[in-house]
């Protein structure tokens, strides 16, 4: 099988790209050709700007949502703690009235007699040896 090698160059050479590669300087305005037409190099495109605006709007909406959830959770905790405080305050007043009612000597004597306790006899004195 014969092969035609007359058009082939001898030696190693990198293949050339199909398009011209141009790296724009940051100080100059330059444009380059692409498959879709003329593109401005170094400036954001409308699609990129729109995507950046969508991402920023999403981040701001997410932050706003997280703050509103935190505020509503704090509000719920305040209401719950307020109702618990009211319940405990009512219990404290009830216990205070029980202590005041039952703390007097006649009330203690009556509770003891009702529970089967009797009055003490005269004390027995034992002489020391």
pLDDT tens digit sequence for 53-69: 999 999 999 999 999 99
- Give the pLDDT of residue 118: 84
- Give the pLDDT of residue 62: 94
- Alpha helices by DSSP H, listed for the chain, are 46-102, 105-114
Tens-place pLDDT, residues 83-126? 999 999 999 999 998 888 777 788 778 888 888 888 888 888 88
Distance CA 124, CA 109 (A): 22
- Give the pLDDT of residue 16: 63
- Give the pLDDT of residue 42: 60
Comparing 62 with 3, the larger pLDDT belongs to 62
- Enumerate residues 6+ apart whose C-beta is below 8 A from 29: 40, 42
CA dihedral 97, 100, 103, 106 (to 10 degrees): -100
- Average pLDDT value for residue range 76-86: 95
């Amino acid at each position: 099988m014969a092969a035609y090698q007359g058009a082939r160059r001898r030696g190693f050479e990198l293949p050339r790209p199909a398009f011209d590669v141009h790296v724009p300087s940051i100080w100059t305005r330059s444009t380059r050709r692409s498959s879709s037409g003329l593109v401005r190099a170094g400036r954001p495109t409308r699609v990129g700007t729109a995507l950046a605006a969508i991402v920023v709007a999403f981040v701001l909406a997410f932050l706003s949502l997280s703050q509103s959830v935190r505020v509503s959770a704090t509000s719920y905790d305040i209401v719950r703690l307020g109702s618990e405080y009211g319940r405990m305050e009512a219990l404290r007043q009830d216990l205070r009235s029980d202590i005041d009612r039952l703390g007097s000597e006649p009330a203690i004597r009556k509770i003891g007699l009702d529970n089967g306790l009797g009055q003490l006899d005269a004390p027995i004195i034992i002489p020391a040896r």
